[in-house]
């Protein structure tokens, strides 16, 4: 096996096509294809599935990717040591989270990380699907359910409090009733979410005005007078069009967990980003609202 072929393998895995990978590292497309075939022959494995949309890692390719990235990290470390250069991280990281958490909680951290490590490209995915860490669809995953995969290293990141919100000027409804109240809640697929169950139990006579599985959409609907909504406090408290309503009982909060594949535990850029996330978010409960009151 030619070690230089690992660089070609990494470029194709990251860019998704031979053409894009060739432009990335300054090789011709035929050369890239030839070196990839040589690597697959040397390993005795098919590393990519060729599709109309590009190159998709096979299971064997996914396993090889973790090893190749560790080799790359060590090679870069050796280069930095040999030249006496200050450590500078580079490469790609893919993060997955819910819509509002990615926008409100992670984006400021990613921006700060980018200033420290400008050569690391962070890709933030916030769609509804659950990205698989074992299949390396993402490097870091943030979610509200604990991880149970044996190959995943995870930890509880923080607890997110929730509150009932209304358009500014709204009056708190009476708990246990809800007559004459319109609410925005989760769609049917997520109707068993703790906050949706709480809302139905607390305001049983309320009329459902609209449903959405997108927290930011719920906040916009609420701010526009479309109905009361239960929202994460980091999202609701930052919107000056909204007011938290005290009905005597508090919606249940949610724990947030972060996980990554155990093969990446020594990947320096992942550790650096995770350390910054923990530093900025783990003590969220001690932060203050824009009004100056503690959450």
Triad 278, 154, 112: Cα angle to 5°: 25
pLDDT value of position 230: 97
pLDDT value of position 82: 58
Q: Which two tokens stand for residue 29?
A: 């497309």
pLDDT in tens, 4-46: 888 899 999 988 888 889 988 888 989 889 999 999 999 899 9
Q: What is the largest CA-CA distance in the chain?
A: 73
For residue 289, give the 3-state DSSP assignment: coil
Partner residues linked to 288 by β-bridges = 294
Of 89, 65, 95, nearest in space to 77 by CA: 89
pLDDT in tens, 119-137: 999 999 997 677 778 777 8
Q: Count the Cβ atoms, other than its own, within 10 Å of residue 218.
A: 26
How many helices (H) and strands (E) are present in the chain, helices listed first? 10, 12
DSSP H helical segments within the chain, as ranges? Answer: 4-15, 18-25, 29-43, 59-83, 99-100, 107-116, 194-202, 215-223, 233-236, 268-281
Place of tokens 């009151």: 293
Say how far apart CA 168 and CA 113 lie, in whole Å.
35
Chain centroid to CA 223: 26
Report residue 282: phi and psi, to 5°. -65, -25
Say how far apart CA 74 and CA 64 lie, in whole Å.
16
Q: Count the Cβ atoms, other than its own, within 10 Å of residue 19.
A: 13
Residues, the chain, total? 295
Given a cut of 70, the residues of the chain with pLDDT beneath it are 1, 77, 79-87, 128, 282-295
């Amino acid at each position: 096996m030619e070690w230089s072929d690992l660089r070609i393998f990494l470029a194709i895995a990251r860019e998704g096509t031979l053409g894009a990978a060739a432009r990335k590292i300054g090789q011709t497309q035929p050369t890239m294809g030839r070196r990839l075939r040589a690597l697959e022959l040397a390993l005795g494995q098919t590393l990519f599935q060729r599709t109309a949309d590009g190159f998709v890692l096979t299971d064997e390719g996914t396993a090889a990717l973790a090893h190749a990235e560790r080799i790359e990290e060590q090679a870069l470390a050796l280069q930095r040591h040999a030249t006496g250069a200050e450590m500078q991280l580079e490469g790609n990281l893919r993060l997955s989270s819910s819509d509002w958490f990615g926008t409100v909680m992670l984006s400021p951290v990613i921006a700060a990380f980018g200033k420290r490590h400008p050569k690391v490209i962070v890709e933030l995915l916030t769609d509804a699907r659950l990205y698989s860490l074992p299949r390396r669809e993402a490097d870091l995953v943030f979610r509200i359910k604990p991880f149970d995969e044996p190959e995943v290293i995870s930890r509880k990141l923080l607890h997110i409090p929730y509150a009932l919100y209304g358009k500014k000027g709204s009056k708190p409804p009476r708990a246990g009733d809800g007559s004459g109240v319109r609410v925005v809640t989760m769609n049917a697929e997520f109707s068993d979410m703790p906050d949706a169950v709480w809302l139905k139990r607390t305001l049983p006579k309320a009329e459902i005005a609209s449903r959405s599985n997108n927290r930011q959409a719920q906040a916009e609907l609420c701010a526009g007078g479309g109905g009361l909504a239960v929202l994460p406090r980091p999202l609701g408290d930052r919107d000056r069009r909204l007011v938290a309503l005290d009905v005597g009982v508090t919606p249940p909060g949610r724990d947030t967990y972060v996980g990554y594949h155990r093969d990446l535990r020594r990947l320096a850029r992942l550790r650096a980003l995770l350390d910054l996330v923990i530093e900025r978010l783990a003590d969220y409960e001690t932060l203050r609202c824009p009004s100056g009151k503690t959450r």
